[in-house]
Amino acid sequence: MEIRYDIENSVIQVDGVDLYAHTLDKNFIGVCSNCNSDVNSLSYHSYESGMIVAARCSLCDTIFAIMYDENWKWKGEETISKFFNLKSSNDLRNLEGIDRKKLSTIFTPAETTSMYAKARGEKYIRQYLYRARKKYNDFEELFGIQINI
C-alpha cells in the first residue's frame, strides 16, 4: 500500500486514489514511535470499512497514517514519507488524458516537456511554459479541451 499526503489540502492518496478529509478535528492520537512525543490528528479519511487518520508528531514532525476498522480498533500505522500536491496531481492526470498527437499539433516538444514537468512539480523552463500558455486558447478552440497548468 502506497500512501502519500497533501498537507496543504488535507488529502491522503492511497494507491493513487485521493481520499478527501471527512473531518479536520485536532485530537491526541497517541505517542510517536520515533521520539515518544505526542501525536495529534491532522485529518480523518474514510477508507474501505474503516478510517485512516493522518497525524503529526508534535516534536519530530513525522507524519503517520493510522488505520482503524469500523469499530475504531487499531489496525496499523505507516509513516508517510511521500507527499504530493493535489493541484499538480490533477493537472498531470488531465494532461496525461490528452492524446500526444493533439498536443504536438499546437505545442512544440519543449513546451510539452515544460507543461509535463510543471504538472509533476519538477523543474521546468519558464520561457517554454509561458509560450505554451499563450497557445491554450488555440488548443481549446481546436480540440475543445481546456488546459490550465
**Residue 1 pLDDT > 90:** no
Number of other residues whose CB lies within 10 A of the CB of residue 147: 21
The confidence score (pLDDT) of residue 88 equals 64
> Domain residue spans in the chain?
3-83, 86-143
The mean of the pLDDT values for the chain is 87
pTM: 0.60
Q: For helices 126-134 and 109-120, what crossing angle results, to 10°? A: 110
106-117 pLDDT per residue, tens: 999 999 999 888
Greatest alpha-carbon span in the chain:
59
31-78 pLDDT per residue, tens: 999 899 999 999 999 988 899 999 999 999 999 999 999 999 999 999
From 55, 12, 5, select the one nearest 31 (Cα to Cα).
55
* Beta carbons within 8 Å of 54's beta carbon, 6+ residues apart: 5, 10, 12, 41, 42, 43, 44, 45, 63, 64, 65, 80
The confidence score (pLDDT) of residue 99 equals 87
**Residue 85 pLDDT > 80:** no
**Residue 128 pLDDT > 90:** yes
30 burial (CB, 10 Å; 0-12 / 13-18 / 19+) is: middle
